[in-house]
Structure 1
């Protein structure tokens, strides 16, 4: 990961909150504050598209730790992976501009967990993304039910938003 210092900061803050007993609920929102640094810029002098994805990785890491999945991930050797992403860029992030990344779980099905990331500024939403993610271990997908069990939760998924249901990535059979 090319954001090692940001990653260290995020992990220390999340672990500190865990130690203090401040845990997010599964459907709670994680909020991280950042600033656009010169290393985040492209030739147009705004944050490069690839950096949005890297920052969103930090949001998912923070969310996983804050909801209490850290130990289960390490113990079971789960690896978080993305299956798909849908991002909408609304406005540019300029050099040294402050922004907040808000990450949350939207819903889940039998195989995937769907998350939302919003990059917000004082002027409004700069970008919004829906991610389809899962955990894998030993070559197979860890079901959301197993993930929830590790958290001691057996709640049903919130209703899948219509936009997420319509967006769900195409299957291989649908493409061929």
Structure 2
């Protein structure tokens, strides 16, 4: 899938929950802290390609509705609450599609998916979003650019 294409977002679930430990840790908050959890499906030309679960701190999530999530990018919505997004930490791996996700993505249960986990931080270093994205590998690829370090003592790749 090329960047810049018009995609459609459907919100499957939107609610406030107590943060489970595996989400609290990367968000640098206490387990059990109230957060907004959204589950969304993103499609291109009627074909689903990603299943996204996001967690937002409650003070940010309270300003974001289902309609907002279906019409506007989440980063714009977060910045609309007064938080300037500054950086993110991301992990990319693979996983097997669980039956519920497979049904939504129109793949077979157990089929390989691209799994992306990302924590987004504002300029103050506060985690403003945690996202777990599952992507069909036949319609999504992740491209990265690297530059060679100018440091003569340590020639490495920079991202």
* TM-score (normalised: structure 1): 0.33
Q: Which has the higher strand share?
A: 2
More helix per residue: 1
Scaled by the length of structure 2, the TM-score of the pair is: 0.36
